[in-house]
């Protein structure tokens, strides 16, 4: 059949719109149908660390069934670090630590499967795991085959020692992704890159979830800090309002495994669970489910709270209000309603009001309390959570089920955080896509004064303090990277600072420039390096109690 000119025209328009849509979300996700909603399961690390055994794992599998966890959606049972023997076998294959798992891993996998659960296992892309056991570096294909032969369904791949591999992280993960594909067995790939910027450099092409934080501890401040890596500006420029635009069906920001049941009280357990639910973070329980109390079980299996996390739209919740520790998060759901979390982290007891404006609604709206599973009534224009004291919260559902899905916010346009134009782009005019350490200052030194090195003042540049890493997205569009680096003239002591420029991320560890240790009496150093084809640069400044400047830092595109 011949297409009319109008049909061609509309086909073109639709194609262009699709491309623009993908471009605006910066999507190139691995979409193999796995992890369409955030993975749910249990992982051995938070409670047991390396102290695991066949008996403990089998008992935990039993408990996942008898407690109702499996039926609530927790299907992956993941053995974290500590399951393997100290050495590979004579053929170079990974084997179980026979003191802990006398019958090997296949038997464990079979047991887990016999309970209607899925089998997850831990490895590391370094030459050894974080606990010092054999890592997968240089054994990628063989190890993925071994896992497939044991019936593994989920791999947690850690990053310890990966900086010694001499391979870009993106190249390395492509190797794992291909090796997994080659086994023919579908396996979820969970990246444990603790704060290394995986969301930025494209892990979603290779993996289904990636860690955004360092390890979580059973302490509410640690819970808040992990949540803030994905919902705040701890690891990314504030203009992004968290990492929500990098998540969606099949690819998730992972704020780390749950400490629900390990926290000092059930109130904190609930806050933790509400935060992970609204942030669409994977729900990997980390308590001893064999002995958990009825209250903890109720929290972990709360159906309406889980439903928020598992909503098929896969929108990651984001903050719509933040002031003095009072926070409101919003997560538009697939049924036309929206989930709202109102949390008081501050010291003062206070009312917190969510207005319908903040969440894209108008007029009279139904409000339901998801923990109490109770309708609270209809409210016009706003809802006030009354007298919330420190560490109190409400998780609500607002709106009418069956209405048209509410729009979320717009993702930050690419030109705001990537090199897109010809000529000179000052990096201080772009939003960084990843940071570690104190937030840098744009076009000022860290103290907010004019950047000054050896008496010379600069109007453009980035001011840092102590150890910091900042990642910028070049998108392969720049030819040269130029800067003048040196310690700021305001430093009073003899502290030293070291400046390095890396291709991509820290674990890939391809150093393009290294200043060595610079002290204040050293002249500024000019950098002019080739960055042709490079997707990301990482600016590293290392020092203690010292201010350093990336003066005039820019890239040139021809
Ligand atoms: C790292 C990870 C943890 C855990 C341990 C195991 O610290 O971040 O989640 O897997 O390694 O050694």
The pLDDT tens digits for 58-76 are 999 999 999 999 999 999 9
CB 68 within 8 A of CB 115: no
Indicate whether 48 pLDDT > 90.
yes
Indicate whether 414 pLDDT > 70.
yes
> What's the chain's average pLDDT?
94
Angstrom distance (rounded) from CA 459 to CA 442? 10
Decide which of 327 and 22 is more confident. 327
Ligand 1 center to residue 81 CA distance, Å?
Answer: 7
Mean pLDDT of 12-36: 55
Angstrom distance (rounded) from CA 396 to CA 342? 8
Please tell me the predicted confidence (pLDDT) of residue 524: 93
**Per-residue model confidence as pLDDT tens digits over 175-191:** 999 999 999 999 999 99
Ligand 1 center to residue 340 CA distance, Å?
Answer: 31
Query: Could you give the domains of the chain?
Result: 33-309 (3.20.20.70), 318-398 (2.60.40.1180), 414-557 (2.60.120.1060)
The band of 201, judged by pLDDT with boundaries at 50, 70 and 90, is confident
Ligand 1 atom at minimum distance from 122 CA: 10
Neighbouring CB atoms inside 10 A of 57's CB total 22
Please tell me the predicted confidence (pLDDT) of residue 16: 38
CB 216 within 8 A of CB 226: yes
Please tell me the predicted confidence (pLDDT) of residue 20: 38
Indicate whether 479 pLDDT > 50.
yes
Please tell me the predicted confidence (pLDDT) of residue 245: 97
The band of 202, judged by pLDDT with boundaries at 50, 70 and 90, is confident
Please tell me the predicted confidence (pLDDT) of residue 28: 57
**Per-residue model confidence as pLDDT tens digits over 425-441:** 999 999 999 999 999 99
**Per-residue model confidence as pLDDT tens digits over 212-263:** 999 999 999 999 999 999 999 999 999 999 999 999 999 999 999 999 999 9
Q: Up-side HSE of residue 366: CA atoms within 13 Å toward CB?
A: 13
CB 540 within 8 A of CB 509: no
Which of 158, 213, 216 to mutate for ligand 1's pocket (most ligand atoms within 8 Å of CB)?
Answer: 158
pTM of the model: 0.94
**In sequence order, what DSSP letters do the residues of 35-84 get, joined into one string?**
-SS--EEEESHHHHTT---HHHHHHHHHHHHHTSHHHHT--EEEE-TT-B
H helices present in 100-163, as ranges: 104-114, 140-150
Q: With residue 271 as reference, give the H or E element that holds it.
A: helix 266-278
Ligand 1 site, CB within 6 A: 45, 80-81, 122, 129-131, 158, 192, 194, 215
Tokens 């969440």 belong to which residue?
Answer: 359
pLDDT above 90 covers what percent of the chain?
Answer: 91
Please tell me the predicted confidence (pLDDT) of residue 237: 98
Indicate whether 3 pLDDT > 60.
no
Residues 6+ apart with CB under 8 A from 135: 123, 124, 125, 126, 127, 128, 129, 160, 161
Angstrom distance (rounded) from CA 151 to CA 238? 42
**Per-residue model confidence as pLDDT tens digits over 326-340:** 999 999 999 999 999
Alpha-carbon separation of residue 191 from 128, 137, 168, 175 (angstroms) = 16, 15, 15, 13
Decide which of 79 and 31 is more confident. 79
Which of 43, 49, 51, 81 to mutate for ligand 1's pocket (most ligand atoms within 8 Å of CB)?
Answer: 81
CB 251 within 8 A of CB 208: yes
**Per-residue model confidence as pLDDT tens digits over 89-128:** 999 999 999 999 999 999 999 999 999 999 999 999 999 9
Indicate whether 24 pLDDT > 80.
no
Decide which of 418 and 26 is more confident. 418
Residue 418: DSSP 8-state: B
Residue with CA at minimum distance from ligand 1 atom 8:
215
Ligand 1 atom at minimum distance from 214 CA: 8
Ligand 1 atom at minimum distance from 256 CA: 9
The band of 17, judged by pLDDT with boundaries at 50, 70 and 90, is very low
Which of 80, 213, 222 to mutate for ligand 1's pocket (most ligand atoms within 8 Å of CB)?
Answer: 80
Ligand 1 center to residue 42 CA distance, Å?
Answer: 14
CB 218 within 8 A of CB 230: no
Neighbouring CB atoms inside 10 A of 505's CB total 26
Neighbouring CB atoms inside 10 A of 425's CB total 21
Ligand 1 atom at minimum distance from 192 CA: 8
Indicate whether 274 pLDDT > 60.
yes
Mean pLDDT of 464-483: 97
Ligand 1 center to residue 51 CA distance, Å?
Answer: 13
Using DSSP's 3-state secondary structure scheme, residue 226 falls into: helix
Q: Give catalytic residue positions.
A: 158, 215
């Amino acid at each position: 059949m011949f297409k009319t000119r109008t049909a061609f025209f509309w086909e073109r328009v639709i194609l262009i719109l699709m491309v623009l849509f993908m471009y605006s979300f910066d999507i190139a996700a691995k979409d193999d149908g796995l992890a369409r909603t955030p993975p749910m399961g249990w992982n051995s690390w938070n409670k047991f660390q390396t102290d695991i055994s066949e008996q403990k794992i089998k008992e935990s599998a039993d408990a996942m069934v008898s407690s109702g966890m499996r039926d609530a959606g927790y299907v992956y049972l993941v053995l974290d670090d500590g399951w393997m023997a100290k050495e590979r076998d004579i053929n170079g294959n990974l084997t179980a630590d026979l003191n802990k798992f006398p019958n090997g891993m296949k038997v464990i996998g079979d047991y887990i499967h016999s309970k209607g659960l899925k089998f997850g296992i831990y490895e590391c892309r370094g030459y050894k795991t974080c606990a010092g056991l054999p890592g997968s570096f240089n054994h990628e294909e063989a190890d993925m085959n071994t896992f497939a032969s044991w019936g593994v369904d989920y791999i947690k791949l850690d990053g310890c020692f990966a900086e010694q591999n001499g391979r870009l992280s993106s190249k390395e993960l492509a190797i794992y992704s291909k090796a997994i594909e080659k086994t023919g067995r579908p396996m979820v790939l969970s990246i444990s890159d603790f704060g290394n910027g995986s969301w930025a450099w494209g892990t979603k092409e290779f993996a289904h979830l990636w860690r955004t934080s360092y390890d979580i501890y059973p302490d509410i401040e640690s819970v808040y800090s992990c949540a803030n890596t994905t919902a705040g500006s701890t690891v990314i420029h504030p203009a992004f309002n968290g990492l929500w635009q990098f998540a969606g069906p099949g690819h998730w920001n992972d704020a780390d495994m749950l400490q629900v049941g390990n926290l000092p009280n059930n109130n904190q357990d609930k806050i933790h669970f509400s935060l992970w639910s609204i942030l669409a973070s994977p729900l990997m329980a980390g308590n001893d489910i064999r002995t958990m109390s009825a209250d903890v079980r109720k929290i972990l299996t709360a159906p309406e709270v889980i439903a928020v996390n598992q909503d098929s739209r896969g929108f990651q919740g984001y903050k719509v209000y933040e002031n003095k520790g009072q926070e409101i998060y919003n997560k538009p759901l697939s049924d036309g309603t929206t989930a709202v979390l109102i949390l008081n982290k501050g010291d003062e007891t206070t009312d917190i009001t969510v207005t319908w404006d903040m969440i894209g609604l108008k007029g009279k709206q139904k409000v339901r309390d998801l923990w109490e599973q109770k309708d609270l009534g209809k409210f016009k224009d706003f809802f006030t959570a009354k007298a919330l004291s420190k560490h109190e919260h409400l998780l609500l559902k607002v709106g009418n089920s069956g209405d048209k899905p509410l729009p979320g916010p717009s993702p930050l346009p690419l030109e705001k955080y990537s090199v897109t134009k010809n000529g000179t782009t000052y990096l201080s005019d772009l939003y960084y896509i990843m940071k570690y350490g104190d937030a840098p200052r744009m076009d000022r030194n860290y103290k907010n004064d004019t950047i000054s090195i050896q008496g010379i003042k600069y109007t453009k540049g980035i001011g840092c303090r102590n150890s910091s890493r900042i990642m910028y997205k070049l998108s392969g569009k720049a030819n040269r990277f130029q800067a003048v680096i040196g310690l700021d003239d305001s430093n009073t002591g003899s502290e030293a600072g070291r400046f390095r420029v890396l291709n991509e991320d820290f674990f890939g560890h391809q150093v393009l420039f290294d200043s060595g240790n610079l002290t204040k009496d050293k002249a500024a150093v000019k950098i002019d390096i080739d960055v042709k084809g490079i997707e990301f640069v990482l600016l590293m400044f290392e020092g203690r109690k010292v201010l350093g400047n990336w003066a005039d830092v820019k890239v040139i595109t021809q």
